[in-house]
Amino acid sequence: MTDRAGDSVPSMPQHVAVIMDGNGRWARARGLERIEGHWAGYKTLKRIVYAADDLGIRYLTVYGFSSENWRRPQNEVSGLMRLMYAAMRAELEDLIENGIRVRVIGRLHQLPDELSDIFYEAMRSTEAYTRMTFTLAINYGGRAEIVDAVRAIARDIADGRISADDVDEASVAARLYAPEMPDPDLLIRTAGEMRLSNYLLWQSAYSEIWVTPTYWPDFTPELLLQAVQDYGKRTRRFGAVVE
Ligand code: FPP
């Protein structure tokens, strides 16, 4: 397989999911406010979106704000809301110019109106693009997503559209926030923690996990390439035996 520059890349992951952790620690190490770490994280994210596109990754999904992040200090939460709004405003034109589709998954109705409005605008204005899909998980929780899917199934059963015996894995998968998106092949987590933190719980059942000690603001396209190359050396078994 080759990237867009024609260089050889072994077995590319189609979908890369990222937990962008370590903004706070990055800021603290420099005597800065936590929110400054998030602004540095935004700059990194911008580079990584285009680096992923250059590598030929078809889906990039990042964890921007989890349903648990509301428990952070109020000024950090409001600072993150303002940052996400400013970032989307500033980047939408470039994303459109580059033919990148934007999706946002999570309980968007609980976000400030101004923020959910710009997310809907970004989704609407890029929905025809097929080059790369960049998905932001915002006010997202993996368990909440499964609960929302189960509620949708319960409604379908109550209204007689399906019967309980028809419910299978495909029925749940079809009711996730972005049902047509393939499962992540590779899940990258920065800042060293070895956990999923309620991220894409259903979809990451068979994802390969790659963890770096690097804090998110210091993450680079070179580290992304390293993760992709390490992924290319792994043998995926999906529960089966491989001789
Ligand atoms: C985790 O670091 C990071 C977040 C909770 C926020 C991620 C947000 C960004 C990178 C800004 C991106 C912008 C958009 C448009 C989504 P942490 O604060 O948990 O770091 P720590 O574990 O060191 O405290």
pLDDT bracket for residue 8 (50, 70, 90) = very low
Provide the CATH number for the domain around residue 96. 3.40.1180.10
Q: What pLDDT was estimated at residue 106? A: 98
Q: Is the pLDDT of residue 238 over 90?
A: no
Q: Best of 18, 19, 23 to mutate for ligand 1, by most ligand atoms within 8 A of CB?
A: 23
Residue 23 near ligand 1, beta carbon < 6 Å: yes
Instruction: Tell me the two tokens of residue 11.
Output: 């077995």
In a domain, 96, yes or no: yes
Q: What pLDDT was estimated at residue 72? A: 96
Residue 84 near ligand 1, beta carbon < 6 Å: yes
Instruction: Tell me the two tokens of residue 34.
Output: 């936590």
Range of the domain at 204: 15-142+186-232
pLDDT tens column, 44-80: 999 999 999 999 999 999 999 999 999 999 999 999 9
| Selection from 230, 222, 226, 232 nearest residue 51 by Cα | 222
In a domain, 166, yes or no: no
Give me the number of domains the chain comprises: 1
pLDDT tens column, 181-224: 999 999 999 999 999 999 999 999 999 999 999 999 999 999 99
In a domain, 179, yes or no: no
Q: Which amino acid is at 71?
A: R
Q: What pLDDT was estimated at residue 189? A: 98
| Selection from 224, 215, 226 nearest residue 40 by Cα | 215
Tell me the pTM.
0.94
- Ligand 1 atom having least distance to the Cα of 37: 18
Average pLDDT value over all residues in the chain: 95
Question: Does residue 63 contact residue 199 with C-beta atoms inside 8 Å?
Answer: yes
In a domain, 67, yes or no: yes
In a domain, 210, yes or no: yes
Report the C-alpha gap between 231 and 91 in whole angstroms: 29
Residue 62 phi/psi, 5-degree rounding, is -120, 150
Residue whose pair of structure tokens reads 């050889």 in the numeric block: 8
Residue 197 phi/psi, 5-degree rounding, is 50, 45
In a domain, 40, yes or no: yes
In a domain, 74, yes or no: yes
Q: Is the pLDDT of residue 2 over 70?
A: no
* Centroid of ligand 1 to alpha carbon of 177 (angstroms): 22
In a domain, 79, yes or no: yes
